[in-house]
Amino acid sequence: MVGGLLGLKTTGKNRPVQNPPLILVGCSGGPDSLALAAVCAFFATRGEVRVGAVVVDHQMQEGSAEVAQATAGQLRGLGLDPVVVRTVDLEHDGAGPEAAARAARFGALEATAHQLGADQVLLGHTLDDQAESVLLGLARGSGTRSLAGMRERRGMYVRPFLGLRRDETLAICQALGLTPWHDPANQDPAYLRVRVRNTVLPFLGAELGPGVAASLARSATILGYDADFLDELAEAEFVTLAQRSTESGTEFPQIALSENGLRGLPAALRMRVLALAAVELGGVQPSLERLAAAETLLARSGSAGPVQLAGKVSAWRISRKHSVPHEGASYGKLVLKRSS
């Protein structure tokens, strides 16, 4: 499984190569990532790849530094090299501690990969994690991309264990005599994901059958293909429609999108094009409500805006009563700009 995702053949024969590539395992010390590190250590002995690890200390719990160092010690004992411990400070921007920890973690993983020259970072998410992600997306009323859950590959990140159950990673640790760290936060019902894991999924399994987690993960795979296709189409339309400029007298960029071009798109693509513009300007993914509000500007029957999107990005249309000439560069355009 791991070897296939890394492009390695699992024939059992050693195939050492000159200057083998470095891959990193993001390891919290929990059973999933520790089992992944142990499996990857096998491939390191074959000489086809070098395997290192990154342990991120989020400083969210007392004794986190000791946990990180103990995890690093186990990883070095498995033969992983280099093993880097990164201590991060969380930036709370109103999105909650889980989102802040995730952002800090991925920032540390990416920075370490670039520093060490690693092309891939492996993460230990399992099928159970995938099922939880789909349910969380449903509960939040999210779109196709969110319901698609986590992808097996996205950029430098690879998740080889998405087909494994959490119990199987525990079995790997037990078989190899490893001592995983069990994060007490994973049992704290204050977190929605914990309630989904310990209450909602067991209930669904009891009522719908034990295969519900696998069914949810399978749905994520199908939706992932759909989301990828729609995202590709939206990206192509965005490239065609987007006109970038800087507002006179400021340093803030803005993007103008043809109103007629947007109106001619199916809703699924139109929403994505608007979101792409907002994100490019430094905003975050807007909610459905914000995107729908921006869409109403295209009707030219009410306010010309501005409509506030997420991340200080606003959208408005050039009104016919505006002093801009009808043949001007901005007329007939929906304009998005990020404020200071």
User: Is residue 220 located within the same domain as residue 332?
Assistant: no
CA within 13 Å, CB half, 34: 30
Residue bearing the bigger pLDDT, 36 or 281: 36
- Pick the last residue of a domain from 190, 224, 258: 224
In a domain, 233, yes or no: no
173-199 average pLDDT score: 92
**Residue where one domain finishes, among candidates 163, 193, 224:** 224
In this structure, the answer to whether residues 138 and 6 fall within a common structural domain is yes
The answer to whether residue 231 sits within a structural domain is no
Same domain, 209 and 281: no
Q: Is the pLDDT of residue 330 over 60?
A: no
> 108 and 51, same structural domain?
yes
Band (8; pLDDT cuts 50, 70, 90): low
Predicted structure pTM score: 0.82
Q: pLDDT value at position 320? A: 53
- Please report which confidence band the pLDDT of residue 326 belongs to, taking 50, 70 and 90 as the band edges: very low
The position carrying tokens 């037990």 is 174
Which of 178 and 89 is assigned the larger pLDDT? 178
Task: Answer with the residue of higher pLDDT: 41 or 303.
Answer: 41
250 pLDDT above the threshold of 60? no
Residues 199 and 264 in one domain: no
Torsion sign (Cα): 302, 303, 305, 310:
negative
Q: Which residues contact 140 (CB under 8 A, 6 or more apart)?
A: 146
Higher pLDDT, 331 or 59: 59
* Residue 147 confidence (pLDDT) above 70: yes
Does 264 share its domain with 217?
A: no
Q: Is there a single domain that holds both residue 220 and residue 255?
A: no
The alpha carbon dihedral of 195, 196, 201, 206 has a sign of positive
DSSP 196: I
> How large is the average pLDDT for residues 81-94?
83
Give me the pLDDT at residue 3, please.
62
Looking at the chain, the whole-number percentage of residues with pLDDT higher than 90 is 55
Q: List the Cα angle 86/88/91 in 5-degree steps.
A: 160
What's the pLDDT score for residue 92? 64
Q: How many structural domains compose the chain?
A: 2
Residues 117-145 have pLDDT tens digits of 998 999 999 999 999 999 999 888 878 88
DSSP states of 247-258:
-TTSS-EEEEEE
Domain of 281, CATH number, reads 3.30.465
Reported as half-sphere exposure (CB side, CA atoms, 13 A), residue 219 has a value of 17
Is the previous residue joined to 202 through a cis bond, with omega within 30 degrees of 0? no
Query: What pLDDT sits at residue 139?
Result: 87
- Domain end marker among 165, 193, 224: 224
CATH number at residue 215: 3.40.50.620
In a domain, 236, yes or no: no
Residue 324's φ and ψ, nearest 5 degrees, are -65, 130
Lowest mean pLDDT across 90-94, 228-232, 278-282: 90-94
Binding site per annotation, positions: 28-33
pLDDT given for residue 47 in this prediction: 83
User: For residue 325, what pLDDT is reported?
Assistant: 40
Tell me: do 197 and 306 sit in the same domain.
no
CA distances from 263 to 161, 204, 269, 276, 295 (A): 42, 41, 10, 16, 9
Residue 294 domain flag = yes
Annotated binding site for ATP: 28-33
Please report whether residue 80 resides in a domain.
yes
One domain for residues 29 and 176: yes
Residue 167: band (very low, low, confident or very high) from pLDDT cuts 50, 70, 90: very high
In a domain, 241, yes or no: no
Choice among 104-118, 252-266, 326-340 with the minimum mean pLDDT: 326-340
Question: Residue 114 corresponds to which tokens in the numbers above?
Answer: 């670039």
Q: Is residue 42 part of a domain?
A: yes
Residues 122, 194, single domain; the answer is: yes
**Confidence bin at 294 (pLDDT 50/70/90):** confident
Q: Is 234 a member of any domain?
A: no
180 and 277 share a domain?
Answer: no
- Model confidence at 157, in pLDDT bands (50, 70, 90)? very high
Average pLDDT, whole number, for the chain?
86
Q: Which two tokens stand for residue 280?
A: 């490019």
The residue range of the domain holding 56 is 2-224
User: Are residues 122 and 32 part of one domain?
Assistant: yes
